[in-house]
Structure 1
Amino acid sequence: MGAKVSELVVVERHSAITMIGINRPEARNCINTPTANALLEAFKDFNADDEAKVAVLYGVGGNFCAGYDLKELAHNPPTFLTQYGRGPMGPTRYESEKPVIAAVEGFAVAGGLELALWCDLRVIEENAVMGVFCRRFGVPLIDGGTVRLPAIVGLGRALDLILTGRPIKAKEAYDWGLATQMVAVGTAVGGAYNLAQCLVKFPQECLQADRRSTLNAALSSPTLQEALTFEHNNGFPVVAKESIHGAQKFTDGVGRHGKFNLHSNLGNPYKAKL
């Protein structure tokens, strides 16, 4: 296990899983410029680490993230307005090469919602709240919210949340597909870690190729044919590396008759939070 603790971001690696925590609990984990920089660097380090396969993003102290720090915007607007190279929230314009799971406790609102949308999967506690709360203050979504939210929940539902700024509670978020899993209070981090353990069990080149193809089709390709071509070119090299071995396992009886285990028998250092 490796650990890197800073004033603003906590990073720990447990085997193939990297845990990245926003560490501003006194501000409900609002993101200011130093935190955004630290968060982006943490994800760059995660992607550069060949041993790390999946990351879990969470907030320290009971809230995922309540958005961008409006105190900084009010007192130092040039800092906010000149962040073209990255999203104001940190990694939201950075394309991670590996899956990221959000463990959502408490509030994930405004830019915090956008940060959760940047993640591939979202494990949300049953009392958590999401929403475009920045609607009240005239702060636009510029960390991917208008791009990713419609792709995840559809145009009509996205416009509902974006235009009204209303809160969406966990059950509705889960019913809409905005949340991947809904779990008991106090268990989001442990649940996200369990889900990460499930993902690291699979052949990784194939998993990453299918992830790239899915994201490209949903967010990048303007036509069906371009999406299909990308999928073929992206996935075909995996066949020689992993698929033939997988087919041999199948002929030996592994995974036949619909048997599929999406549970891990590995230890969970966050078991106390389950």
Structure 2
Amino acid sequence: RAKGNLVVTEKQGRVLLVGINRPEKRNCVDSETARQLIQAFRDFDADDSVNVAVLHGKGGTFCAGYDLSELSEAADDSLLDEDSWPMGPSGMLTRKPTVAAVNGYAVAGGLELALWCDLRVVDETAVMGVFCRRFGVPLLDGGTVRLPALIGLSRALDLILTGRPVSAKEALDIGLANRVVSCGTALGQAISLAGSIAKFPQQCVRADRASTYHACFSSSLQEALAYERDNGKNVLAAESIQGAQKFMSGIGRHGSFNLLHAPRKDAS
């Protein structure tokens, strides 16, 4: 696929749709897709004609995380440059609201992108979870920061430590999802929700939103993100590249945890 359309945008009234456009990769994000996502949200923030953005995935799934084929070819932690995040906009706090339209899978880094958005409208058949656990890939895009803020420490640790799948119903019950909607309607419902927010007086919306984030994170968001990134960098070279290589060889796919017992490449 040409690099120019890994992220596609479309305006619907005062709502901007931002679509991850790698359906053949289950919308896994590579470094170029991450760059395009950052640019899309910078443009969104600068565009006075739109008030709310809806992040979604093209072709039936939200985002299955970072593209492990790219990570498997990395020699070290060079993919994680200073002040950058693998999934793209994770370190940004836009001045306007964002809504995630979640269908299919929102797992690993894809879950972190959903957490990055202010609200999550989730298809009743969607699956969420920290699936990167089985490959030794750490949460590097705010997952350890935003998930406990949304659902509480105990529940967040349950999801983070086990890497288990989370159904839409459970996501709603624990506060991970804001709305659960009928199969196939997540994007439409997210656009409708975004449109309703876009109609309000925007200076007030943005001020209250900014104050809410300030109150929740008390100016420590950037520090927590930096701590997460620094911890994760130590894991990338030790475990993540080898885990990505196992994934590319077919070990551990389709929800299997068999890779936990697979021999290491450097095993004697």
TM-score (norm 2): 0.79
CA distance in structure 2 between the partners assigned to 1:34 and 1:139 by the alignment: 19
Cross-structure match for 2:25: 27
- Residues 1-274 of structure 1 correspond to what in structure 2 (within 5 A)? 6-78=4-76, 81-221=79-219
Count how many residue pairs are aligned between Structure 1 and Structure 2: 218
Shift of 1:7: 2.2
The question of whether the paired residues in 1 share the 8 Å contact of 2:129 and 2:165 is answered with yes
The question of whether the paired residues in 1 share the 8 Å contact of 2:21 and 2:27 is answered with yes
CA distance in structure 2 between the partners assigned to 1:95 and 1:27 by the alignment: 27
CA distance in structure 2 between the partners assigned to 1:94 and 1:82 by the alignment: 16
1:85-108 deviation line (CA, Å, top 9, x unaligned): 221000001111100000000000
The question of whether the paired residues in 2 share the 8 Å contact of 1:147 and 1:219 is answered with no
Percent identical residues: 61
The question of whether the paired residues in 2 share the 8 Å contact of 1:31 and 1:68 is answered with yes
The question of whether the paired residues in 1 share the 8 Å contact of 2:80 and 2:86 is answered with no
The residue identity in structure 1 corresponding to 2:135 is F
CA distance in structure 2 between the partners assigned to 1:23 and 1:78 by the alignment: 27
User: Secondary structure at 1:98's aligned position in 2?
Assistant: coil
Give RMSD over aligned pairs: 1.4
Structure 2 alignment gaps of length 5 or more: 221-268
The question of whether the paired residues in 2 share the 8 Å contact of 1:47 and 1:97 is answered with yes
CA distance in structure 1 between the partners assigned to 2:98 and 2:78 by the alignment: 25
The residue identity in structure 2 corresponding to 1:173 is A
Shift of 1:14: 1.7
1:109-131 deviation line (CA, Å, top 9, x unaligned): 00000000000000000010000
The question of whether the paired residues in 2 share the 8 Å contact of 1:31 and 1:69 is answered with yes
Instruction: Specify whether residues 76 and 166 from structure 1 end up closer, same or farther in structure 2 by C-alpha distance, changes over 3 A only.
Output: same
CA distance in structure 2 between the partners assigned to 1:57 and 1:96 by the alignment: 13
Give the structure with higher Rg (CA). 1
Moved runs in structure 1, 4+ residues, more than 6 A? none
Shift of 1:78: 5.0
The question of whether the paired residues in 2 share the 8 Å contact of 1:33 and 1:79 is answered with no
> Larger RCO: Structure 1 or Structure 2 (Cα < 8 Å, ≥ 6 residues apart)?
2
Shift of 1:201: 1.3
CA distance in structure 2 between the partners assigned to 1:129 and 1:104 by the alignment: 9
